[in-house]
C-alpha cells in the first residue's frame, strides 16, 4: 500500500457516504477519519456497513451531529460510538491523532473573546436547579469548552483533526493553530467549511481543509472532489 494512503480523511458527509466507501474500496487504507457533520438518519455503523471490517473507522463530531436528538443518537449510540477521537490522542496506523469535535459557540466561548463559561461545571453551577437536573442541551454539547481545550493542549500528537478551521482560513480561529503548535502537530485536517485547500501556517504546520463528501490522503491530496 502507498504509505500516504494508510489514513484517509473524509470531509462532512451530510448523509452521503458513497464517496468515502468508494475511496476505501479503491485505496484500501488502514484507517479512515471522518471530520464531522453526518446528518444521520440511521446509525453510523449501518451507513458504513460496506466498509466496517475493511478499515478502522474513527470520527469527530461536527455541529450538525447535535442538531436533533436522533442525529445525535445515531452517532453517539451507534456501534462506532467508541471510535470517537474528541479530546484525546489515539494511535492510528502508527501516528498519534488528536481530535477536537464541535464548534465555537458565542454563548460558551467564541475566541478571541474570553470564554463566557470556563467549563461545563461552571455553566451548570450557574443554572437554576430545574435546568441543572435536565441533561445539558444538545446545543451546548456541540460547543468547544475552554477547560477541555486547554487540557488537550498539554498532550502531544502528530496530527490534529478538528471540525473548526485554524485562523489561516477567513472563517477559522487562531486558537486552533495555537493548539496544534502546542501539541507539536505537523498536520491539521478539518471539515465544516466545505472547501478543499491546503496551506502552511506557523511552526511549519500543514493545514488541509477537506470539502463536504471529499476524501484526502495523508499528504492532503484530494482523492475525489466530493459531490
Q: Are 224 and 214 in contact (CB under 8 A)?
A: yes
* CB neighbour list of residue 150: distance below 8 Å, 6 or more residues apart: none
Question: Which CB sits closer to Zn ion, 87 or 103?
Answer: 103
Per-residue x/- marks for Zn ion, 10-49, CB under 5 A? Answer: ---------------------------x------------
Nearest distance from C-beta of residue 107 to Zn ion, angstroms: 17
Q: Are 181 and 209 in contact (CB under 8 A)?
A: no
Scan residues 47-66 and list those touching Zn ion (CB under 5 A). 62-63
Q: Is 190 in the site for Zn ion (CB under 5 A)?
A: no
DSSP assigned state of 66: G
Nearest distance from C-beta of residue 106 to Zn ion, angstroms: 16
Question: Which CB sits closer to Zn ion, 62 or 220?
Answer: 62
Q: In what order do the strands lie in the sheet with 89-92?
A: 89-92, 95-100, 159-162, 187-190, 205-209, 197-201
Nearest distance from C-beta of residue 12 to Zn ion, angstroms: 6
List, as one string, the DSSP characters of 165-180: PBTTSTT-BHHHHHHH
Question: Which CB sits closer to Zn ion, 6 or 86?
Answer: 86
Nearest distance from C-beta of residue 222 to Zn ion, angstroms: 19
Q: Report how far residue 37's alpha carbon sits from residue 59's, in angstroms, rounded to the nearest whole number.
A: 10
Question: Which CB sits closer to Zn ion, 37 or 217?
Answer: 37
- Cα 109 off chain centre by: 18
Q: Report how far residue 116's alpha carbon sits from residue 107's, in angstroms, rounded to the nearest whole number.
A: 6
Size of the site for Zn ion (CB under 5 A): 4
Nearest distance from C-beta of residue 61 to Zn ion, angstroms: 9
| C-alpha grid cell, residue 43 | 446509525
Nearest distance from C-beta of residue 102 to Zn ion, angstroms: 9
Of 84-92, 144-152, 153-161, 184-192, the window that binds Zn ion (rule: CB under 5 A) is: 184-192
Q: Is 192 in the site for Zn ion (CB under 5 A)?
A: yes
**Phi–psi pair at 70, nearest 5 degrees:** -75, -40
The CB-nearest residue to Zn ion is 192
Q: Which residues bind Zn ion (CB under 5 A)?
A: 37, 62-63, 192
Amino acid at each position: 500500500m502507498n504509505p500516504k494512503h494508510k489514513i484517509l480523511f473524509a470531509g462532512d458527509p451530510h448523509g452521503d457516504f458513497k464517496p468515502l466507501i468508494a475511496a476505501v474500496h479503491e485505496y484500501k487504507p488502514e484507517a479512515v477519519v471522518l471530520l464531522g457533520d453526518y446528518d444521520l438518519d440511521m446509525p453510523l455503523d449501518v451507513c458504513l456497513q460496506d466498509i466496517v471490517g475493511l478499515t478502522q473507522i474513527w470520527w469527530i463530531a461536527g455541529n450538525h451531529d447535535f442538531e436533533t436528538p436522533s442525529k445525535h443518537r445515531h452517532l453517539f449510540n451507534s456501534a462506532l460510538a467508541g471510535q470517537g477521537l474528541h479530546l484525546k490522542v489515539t494511535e492510528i496506523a502508527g501516528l498519534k491523532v488528536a481530535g477536537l469535535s464541535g464548534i465555537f459557540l458565542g454563548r460558551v466561548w467564541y475566541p478571541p473573546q474570553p470564554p463566557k463559561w470556563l467549563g461545563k461545571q461552571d455553566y451548570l453551577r450557574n443554572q437554576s436547579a430545574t435546568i441543572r437536573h435536565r441533561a445539558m442541551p444538545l446545543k451546548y454539547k456541540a460547543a468547544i469548552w475552554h477547560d477541555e481545550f486547554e487540557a488537550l493542549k498539554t498532550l502531544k500528537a502528530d496530527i490534529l483533526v478538528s471540525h473548526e478551521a485554524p485562523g489561516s482560513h477567513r472563517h477559522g480561529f487562531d486558537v486552533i493553530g495555537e493548539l496544534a503548535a502546542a501539541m507539536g502537530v505537523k498536520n491539521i485536517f478539518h471539515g465544516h467549511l466545505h472547501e478543499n485547500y491546503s496551506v502552511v501556517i506557523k511552526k511549519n504546520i500543514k493545514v488541509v481543509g477537506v470539502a463536504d463528501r471529499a476524501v484526502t490522503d495523508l499528504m492532503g491530496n484530494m482523492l475525489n472532489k466530493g459531490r
